[in-house]
Structure 1
Amino acid sequence: MEQALQSEIYKIQKPEHWAGNINDAQLIEYIKESEFSQKQADEGRDYCYFLDKIYYTSDHENSEYACLAYTLNEPANLERASVVDVVLEENETYVIHRISVLRDGVLVDKIPDTKIKILDSENQSGGGVLSSNKKVNITIKDLRLYDILIMEDSRIKVFTDRDFLRKGFSKYIWIGPDSYWAYGKYKFTFKNDRERTIAYKKTFFRDENGNVLEPEVNHLKKGEEYVINEENYINFVDSNREVSPFIDFATDANWKELSNYIAPIYDAIFEKSSLKEFAPDLIEKIDGINDKDEQLQFAIEYVQNHINYIYNADEMNGYKPQEPSVTYENKQGDCKAKSVLLKVILDSIGIDSSIVLVNFNTDFYMKYYLPSLLTFNHVIVKINYKGESYFVDATLRDEFGLIENRGFIFFMHYLEVKPNLELQIKPPHRFSYYAVDEKSELIVANNIGKLNLTTIYKGNRANNMRKYFKKTNKREIIDSWNNFFFHTLNYNNDRNGTDLRNIFKDAVIEIVSDDKKLNEFKIEYKTTIENPYYTDGKNNRFLMYFDGNIVKNSARDFMHKDITFWHNFDNERFEIQLLTDQKIDVTEKFTIQESTINNPYFDYTSRKKITKNGGTIIIDFKPLINLEIPEKDFEDFRAAHHEVADSNFGIGVDIIEEGILNKLKFNFKKHFN
């Protein structure tokens, strides 16, 4: 066997006692053809003869074992099997027990044909993110089509002193196996060797009619195990419409117990942290700011922009927060360290705040999970100021504004690091400002259109647009706006294939202003358009301005049986004016059509002012956000968005051409269309 490196990162040895031992004769016995396996072969699918997985947890380690045998009948699977990457956490060991193939009925040991390399895992290695993960790269030579590959391995994570949460608590999520494969035998075992009882909760399991069953909670004491054993098994989960069944295993506890466990750990840090002692220069800068609002803004932006964010993903839950004096001196820290430093600064200026545990990636599932501190993967700060609560992510950069104007973080569940608290729900929210406030004018004279657009972005939109203009080439930005107007003015239907730069020849876009306190970013776009009318197949001319971004297709197209729709839209206001030197049809339905929608989850109005030469529409959209739309309300919610899409997201005007024949044609069309 070729070895690039031999170390504790990987080993080649027999399985641990808790995993058992399978000999060669048993392996061959397990690999038997059947009507079920033949059916998979007839359908051209690869087949897994057996998969045996074990998760073992004790007060000293978390380990996973797997033994499986599967066909290599498809070239793509053969290619994937030949090179395998295993990413390991810090202090985790990958143990190879067996790599073999069954070829023409003969078991062949492939370990001598295996090359192993140890690499630094490059995942998430940029942008201030540091990773101590290692990647074990396994290359198996001379695998052949129609081999049956047998892999038996383990991952063993032995706890160190700083893995205090993992020593005290266990959490593991079982999810059904890959739906591509058919399994002759599928077995999963969870073994509890901890002193404390582990609860497990079965969620999104279904009856024979596909209906979701009520969650089921049971417990495992030390030495007990939970087993799933299936034969001739295919996981038929429709991943596009259904949540896969899962089992949450977690050390038995409630949220109050967990908050009482974690709160003293943070309190001990705060009790010995004095900003005056380790950052007198920072105190001096803050004292030089007379306005409390501006002091708060300074504190947030100092930690966000001047303290480098370093992030070791797998150890986020593994150790105590870094002391703020160390974070300040080194000018770096993870989310815990940055959040703790921010709270210490806020304490020094008399602003109430607290540390908050969140997991944005699994926020939807939090209501289904068992209570566990290991559910969370991120730390932010909750700030209570002038009767309002705000949430600030200290790891972000280039976020601006006084507290009420800063970016809004969308999530629902969080645990505040204080004693005797339950898991909390962030309430629904209505913005006090428009994230987009836009005014557009298209004025046409002598078949030349002057198009002007002014947009004020605020909150998240201001932060994102500011970054976009900073990082993007100016020509690329103009092309993006040109493409927007190409569709908004309906030119894609009468001059498709035309170079946009030949339509919007003199297009320019500029930053008009950037207010870092109001967090308002204002831009202006201007261009001249020759022949600005959309012309249909019958040579009828129209001015049209329908902004597809106003239509929320994510709401209209949403289809899922289990997941509810997450409502996270912004307040928006649009004023669109079309003016021409031609007469228009002032009775056309879609020219004069207005709308008023008062759905429980958003208010939407469109109001128009029509003259003989054009029209103006004002669109106002105000949603109630940061909530899930209940299933019972969703179809009405969807229907309301369909109403917006029914020509209520812009304005179009029909041109009445000069001349008697054209007017007769127009009157005829009105009477008989």
Structure 2
Amino acid sequence: MDNQVETENYKVEKFSPWAGYIEDHELIERIKDSDFAKRQIDEGRDYCYFLDKKYYTSNTENNEYVCMAYTLNEPSNLERASVMDIVVEENEVYNIHRISVLRDGVLIDKIPDMKVKVLDSENQSSGGILSSNKKINITIKDLRLYDILILEDSRVKAFTDRDFLRKEFSKYVWVSPDNYWAYGSFRFTFINDREQTIAYKKTFFRDENGNVLEPEINYLQKGEKFVFEEKNYINPVDANREIFPYIDFATDTNWKDLSNYIAPIYEEIFNKAFLPEYAPNLVEKLEAISDLDEKIQFAIEYVQNNIYYIFNADEMNGHKPQEPAITYENKQGDCKAKSVLLKVILDYIGVDSSIVLVNFHTDFYIKYYLPSLLTFNHVIVKINHKGEEYFIDATIRDEFGLLENRGFIYFMHYLEVKPNQELKERKSYKFPYYCIDEKVDFNVQDTTGKLVLTTVYKGNRANAMRRYFKNTNKREVVDSWNNFLFYSLNYSGDRNGTDIRNIFKDASIDIVSDDKQLNEFKIQYKSTIENPYYTDPKNNRFLMYFDRNVVKASARDYMHKDLPFWHNFDREKYEINLYTDQKIDTEEKYTAQESTIKNPYFDFTSRKKITKNGASVFIEYNPLTNLEIPQSEFENFRTNHHTVADSNFGLGIDIIEPGLMNRLKFSFKKKFK
């Protein structure tokens, strides 16, 4: 075997003692080409002869074992099998028991042909979670098309002293397999060797007609096991429109007991030391600020920007929060440490706050999961101020604004770290401000158009746009706006393929103002456009400005059967003014068309002001956001968005060409339209 010195991250050993040893002849006996297997292979589907997966949990370790044999009939599958990456947590060991191929009826050991590298595996997720693990890279030489690959391995996670939650509580989610594969034999076994009872909940399983069954909850005592087994199996789930069936295994408990378990741990940390004792300089700065709202802003931005965020996501629930004095002194900590420090500062200035546990990535599923602290992977701070609830992620940087002007975090479920708490659902939300407020002025004289866009961004939009302008080359920013306007003005319809820099002459974009208390970021774009009219194939001229950002394509196209539509749109306002020195058709249907939409989830208005030489449209979109739309109400919601898309997301004006014949032609067209 060609590999580096064996490390603690992986081992090569003959078998897993608790899972038992399988003789070679037993493996060969299980690899039989049944009628089902031949049919799948003839159809070009990759085929797994057997998959035997076992998950063992005790109060000292978790162990996941897999033994499987599958075809390498597709080049892409061969490539994936030849190079494998396995990511392990700290103190987790990957055990390689068997790597073999069955080739022309002969079993060949491939462990001598493998090369193993252990690499650092670090990346920053979109949720602000740094995952610092080890990646075990395995390459196997001389795998061939039509080989049958046999893999047998296990992953062992032994608990350390700081894994106190994992010692006390178990959490595992089994998800039904990818429906790309066909399985001759599929078996999953969960073995409970813990002192505590394990509950398991079967969710999104379906009857023979495809209807979702009611969740089913059962229990495993110490020494008991659960087995899920199928023969000649293809997962029937419609992957694009249905949730894969899954089984949630968790230590049997309830949310109130869990909150009572975790709250004293945090309370002890809060009271370790008094803020002025270890942060006198910070306290001095706080005392110098007289306005409470400004103090809150200072506290949040101090922790976000001055305390470096560093932590391993997989240990998130594995150890106690760091003491705030240590976090302040070292100027670094994980999400728990940063949140605890922020809460201690807020306590000092007399602001009511609490720590809350969340999981942004699995937020939808939390209401279906069994109660478990291991469901959560992130910690944020909840602030109660002036009768409103605010949620602050202390790990995010470059956010600004007084509390009511800061960015909004979208999620629904959380557990507050206080005694006697139940799982809570966050309220739906209406923005008190416009996230985007844009004015478009397009004035055409003779053959030249002057275009000016003035845009005010607020909240999340302001934070994002501020970062974008800070980190992006100015020429690239201008090109981005030019490209957007190329489609908004419908130039893609009559001059596609033209260099946009030759269309938008002297284009510029500037930051007009940046108010970090209001969290308002204002910019202005200007350009000159020769040949400003869109001309159709019949040489009719138009001025058009349709902002496709107003059209919510995700709402119009949504088709999922199980997932309710998650409504998280911003509040928006647009004023579009198109003026020319030519006469326009003031009665044209889409020029004059207005709309008013009112449903429980958003209000939309489009109002017009028309003159003989131009028109204006005033658009407002006011959503009720941060909620799931019930399927019974979704089609009406979708229909309303189709209405927005029916020429109500901008403005178009038709030019009446000068000359007697053109006016007669226009009158004739209007009369018989």
**Is the structural similarity TM-score above 0.5?**
yes
CA distance in 2, matches of 1:321, 1:588: 65
1:492 counterpart = 2:492: yes
Q: Which amino acid aligns with 1:402?
A: L
Aligned to 1:248: 248
C-alpha displacement at 1:126, in angstroms? 12
Structure 1 unmatched ranges of 5 or more: none
Write the deviation string for residues 592-618 of structure 1: whole angstroms up to 9, x where unpaired.
Answer: 111111111111111111111111111
CA positional deviation for 1:102: 1.3
The residue number in structure 1 matching 2:421 is: 421
Are 1:471 and 2:471 an aligned pair? yes
Q: CA deviation at 1:387?
A: 1.1
SS in structure 2 opposite 1:235?
coil
Q: Is the 8 A contact 2:123 2:130 kept in 1?
A: no
Q: CA deviation at 1:24?
A: 1.1
1:88-117 Cα deviation digits (max 9, x unpaired):
100001111111111221211111222222
Aligned CA distance change for structure 1 residues 131 and 244 (closer, same or farther; 3 Å): closer
* Cα contact 1:339–1:380 (8 A) shared by 2: yes
Moved over 6 A (4+): 125-129
Please state if 1:507 is matched with 2:507: yes
Alignment of 1:559-570 (within 5 A): 559-570=559-570
Shift of 1:17: 3.6
**AA in 2 matched with 1:468:** Y
Q: Match for residue 278 of structure 1?
A: 278
Is the 8 Å Cα contact of residues 203 and 247 (structure 1) preserved in structure 2?
Answer: yes
Q: CA deviation at 1:337?
A: 0.3
* Alignment CA distance shift 1:189-1:126 (3 Å): closer
Distance in 2 separating the partners of 1:396 and 1:463? 11
Alignment of 1:133-172 (within 5 A): 133-172=133-172
Matches of 2:548 and 2:126 in 1, distance apart?
A: 35
* Correspondence list, 1:372-521, <5 A: 372-521=372-521
Instruction: Find the residue that maps to 2:452 and give its secondary structure.
Output: strand
SS in 2 for 1:49: strand
- Range that drifts further, 644-653 or 110-119: 110-119
Q: Secondary structure at the match of 2:505?
A: coil
How much has 1:229 moved relative to structure 2? 0.9
- 1:489 maps to amino acid: L
1:60-459 alignment runs, 5 A limit: 60-124=60-124, 131-459=131-459
Tell me, yes or no, if the aligned pair for 2:317 and 2:374 is still in contact at 8 Å: yes
Deviations 1:121-160 (A, max 9, x none): 2444999975541122212222222221111110000000
Cα offset for 1:327?
A: 0.6
The letter for the 2-side match of 1:539 is N
Give 1:607's aligned residue: 607
Report the residue type matching 1:48 in the other structure: C
| Stretch deviating more after TM superposition (40-49 or 464-473) | 40-49
Deviation for aligned residue 1:18: 2.9
Cα separation, 1, equivalents of 2:131 and 2:499? 45
How many residues align? The count is 673
Distance 1:351 1:552 in 2: 38
Query: Residues 128 and 395 of structure 2 are in contact (CA less than 8 Å); yes or no, is this contact kept in structure 1?
Result: no
CA drift of 1:538 comes to 0.8
Q: Distance in 2 between matches of 1:145 and 1:86?
A: 23
Name the stretch that deviates more: 145-154 or 296-305: 145-154
- When structure 1 is superposed on structure 2, of 363-372 and 234-243 the one drifting more is 234-243
Deviates more, 1:93-102 or 1:240-249: 93-102
Q: Match of 1:10, as an amino acid?
A: Y
**Preserved contact between residue 128 and residue 308 of structure 1 (Cα < 8 Å):** no
Q: Is this contact kept in 1: 2:132–2:311, CA < 8 A?
A: no
1:639 aligns with 2:639: yes
> Could you tell me how far apart the structure 1 residues matched to 2:125 and 2:578 are?
50
Aligned to 1:281, the other structure's residue is in SS state helix
Contact preservation (8 Å) 2:16, 2:97? no
Q: 1:659 to 1:128 in 2, by over 3 A?
A: closer
**Alignment partners' CA distance in 1, 2:445 and 2:78:** 66
Mapped partners of 2:349, 2:527: distance in 1:
50
* Change in 2 beyond 3 A, CA 1:511/1:427: same
Q: Alignment partner of 1:268: what SS? A: helix
Separation of aligned partners in 1, 2:502 and 2:162: 63
Deviations 1:617-670 (A, max 9, x none): 111110000000111110000011111111111111111111110001101111
Alignment check: 8 A CA contact 1:5 1:116 kept: no
* Further displaced range: 345-354 or 123-132: 123-132
Secondary structure at the aligned position of 2:549 is classed as helix
Q: Which amino acid counterpart does residue 636 of structure 1 have in structure 2?
A: N
- Please state how far the C-alpha of 1:46 moved relative to its aligned partner: 2.2
SS at match of 2:633: helix
- Contact 2:127–2:360, Cα closer than 8 Å, also in 1: no
Distance 1:653 1:461, change over 3 A: same
| Counterpart residue identity of residue 485, structure 1 | L
Residues 377-426 of structure 1: per-residue CA shift (max 9 Å, x gap)? 00000011111110000000000000000000000000000000100010
Could you say what secondary structure the match of 1:133 adopts?
Answer: strand
TM-score (norm 2): 0.98
CA distance in 1, matches of 2:127, 2:198: 38
1-structure distance, mates of 2:286, 2:148: 68
AA paired with 1:280? P
* Whole-angstrom distance in 2 between the partners of 1:632 and 1:574: 31
Q: Deviations over 1:277-298 (max 9, x none)?
A: 1101100011111111110000
CA contact (8 A) 1:128 1:311 kept: no
Contact 1:299 1:345 in 2 (8 A): yes
Deviation of 1:179 (Å): 1.6
Matched AA of 2:135:
K
Percentage of identical aligned residues? 73
Does structure 2 retain, via aligned residues, the 8 Å contact 1:2–1:115? yes
1:533-568: CA deviation from partner (whole Å, max 9, x where unpaired): 111111111111111111111111111000010111
Whether the 8 Å CA contact 1:273–1:344 is kept in 2: the answer is: no
Write out per-residue CA displacement over residues 57-77 of structure 1, whole angstroms, 9 at most, x where no aligned residue: 000001100000111122221
Helix, strand or coil: the match of 1:635? helix
The unaligned stretches of length 5 or more in structure 2 are none
* Cα deviation code 1:334-382 (max 9, x no counterpart): 0000000000111111111000000000001111111000000000000
Matched, 1:536 2:509: no
**In 2: Cα distance, 1:343 partner to 1:104 partner:** 66
Counterpart residue type for residue 20 of structure 1: G
In 1: Cα distance, 2:407 partner to 2:562 partner: 30
Alpha carbons 1:203, 1:246 under 8 Å: kept: yes
Contact 2:122 2:130 in 1 (8 A): no
Q: CA deviation at 1:583?
A: 0.8
Match of 1:672 in 2: 672
Which amino acid in structure 2 is aligned with residue 188 of structure 1?
F
CA distance in 2, matches of 1:124, 1:14: 36
* Separation (CA, whole Å) in 2 of partners of 1:481 and 1:521: 16
Say if 1:414 and 1:424, in contact at 8 Å, map to a contact too.
Answer: yes
The CA distance in 1 between the partners of 2:670 and 2:58, in whole Å, is 80
Matches for 1:582-593 after TM superposition, within 5 Å: 582-593=582-593
